[in-house]
Amino acid sequence: MFIVVLGGGVSGLTCGIRLLEAGHTVEVWAREVSPHTTSDVAAAVWYPYRAWPQERVSAWAKRTYTVLASLAHAHPEAGILLVSGVELFRRHVEDPWWRDSVPDFRRARPEELPPGLLEGYHFTAPVIEMPRYLPFLMSRLRALGGTLVRREVRSLDEAWARASLVVNCTGLGARELVGDATLHPVRGEVLRVSPAPTDRFLFDDEHEDGIAYVIPRSGDCILGGTVEEGNGSLTPDPAVARGILARNAPLLPPGAVLNVVEHKVGLRPGRPTVRLEAEVIAGRVVVHDYGHGGAGVTLSWGCAEEVVALVAAHQTQLT
């Protein structure tokens, strides 16, 4: 079956790949491609952050963890590293709902906690270097026979003129494309520093001045961050950068040098729940896959496989 996928970020490319593997013919239409997509700015580490509902997100995240870990071993060129680290807390916490998604979850030992932190979760997570991963996905899409088209789409009718089944992975763009007023930008600023000041990731969501996280990669490290609901500005703020450095410094080894080489802004597609469902309109089908919050990469393969199942379920209506 011929299918048009709208969106050239991680969700659109991943859906395109899984649909091609299922035997479909696929065109991915994208207003922007890497390195100019929202996905390019992602930190990006496996973690089900700001995505709901919990039960569905848990299943998608667990499946994606398995695929990313497999790719890390089989395709070093994909830019996926398996990195151990700690999520930190200033209070007693129960085990998280996602604990069964990672194979080596345990409580952090006292010597693994920076000063002033009371508890933590220790686990290994895939860290995805987006400047390498997105080109890897595009190459895989093309190798499977898929086509990537630079095209801005203002209505589903434009895509339906080409294919009777469309997959909508437009992220924040779905607010205008399908009139989804529940979508909103959740602004995040990050800093890229080089060299990496540590070899483990660290998450601290409970700092009184905002969130802090350290994500080491092969040649650099991402420091974050911010969570600004409804702010759509893409202009970096020097004051925010200073705050990110101040919040992260206590998490790092004493004397760690933070040499900032890049300051980036991205907009997470916030929504009360991920929208992953099929919609039939006048005999034509659109499968929606957007609204992943801060977990687009974390949910990507699990969601893509559900998209393939939804396409199969509705394919007979169009033949």
Q: List binding-site positions for D-dopa.
A: 213, 268, 294
Strands 184-193 and 260-270, bridge-based pairing: antiparallel
**Separation in Å, CA 289 to CA 15, 18, 278:** 9, 13, 9
Contact 27, 5 (CB under 8 A): yes
Q: Which residues are annotated as a binding site?
A: 38-39, 153, 170, 213, 268, 293-298
Report d(CA 158, CA 111) in Å as an integer: 58
SS (H, E, C) 257-299: CCCEEEEEEEEEEECCCCEEEEEEECCEEEEEEECCCCCHHHH
Collapsing DSSP to helix, strand or coil, 26 comes out as strand
DSSP-assigned letter for residue 9:
S
The strand pairing partners of 86, in sequence order, are: 122, 202
- The CB density around residue 100, as the number of other CB atoms within 10 Å, is 11
List the one residue out of 242, 278, 286, 284 whose CA is nearest residue 260.
Answer: 242
List the one residue out of 313, 317, 291, 312 whose CA is nearest residue 11.
Answer: 291
List the one residue out of 111, 37, 40, 53 whose CA is nearest residue 79.
Answer: 40
Contact 297, 39 (CB under 8 A): yes
Q: Which residues are annotated as a binding site for FAD?
A: 38-39, 153, 170, 293-298
Burial of 254 (0-12, 13-18, 19+ CB in 10 A): exposed
